[in-house]
Amino acid sequence: MSRSERIKADIGFHEKMFFAALAGVMALIGWLVSNYEQAPTWMVFLGVCGMIGASVFGIFQYRRIKRLIVELEKC
């Protein structure tokens, strides 16, 4: 496997992780909007923490994808 093919495979993997994080954030937002009045405070807090964690993970994945694209252009 050549270096450029490996980078393309890495980009594909990190894209999937990015979109999984995005889906998780959207799902948690939907859950929080529909259940914030009925759910216990600790559960809402954990939902917000999960949303923040998924957002940070998504941002790191996006930055990794951009770095890999620059590296691919140099090949």
What would the pLDDT profile of 8-52 be if each residue is shown by its tens digit? 999 999 999 999 999 999 999 999 999 988 999 999 999 999 999
Number of domains in the chain: 1
- What is the domain range of residue 66? 3-74
- Residue identified by tokens 């694209």 is 69
Predicted confidence at residue 36, as pLDDT, reads 86
17's CB contacts (< 8 A; 6+ apart) are 57, 61
What value, to the nearest 5°, has the Cα angle with vertex 48 and ends 35 and 16?
Answer: 105
Q: What is the pTM of this model?
A: 0.86
Q: Check residue 39 and report its DSSP letter.
A: S
Whether the pLDDT of residue 1 is over 80: the answer is: no
Neighbours of 60 (CB within 10 A): 14
Joined together, the tokens standing for residue 35 give 């259940």
Neighbours of 11 (CB within 10 A): 18
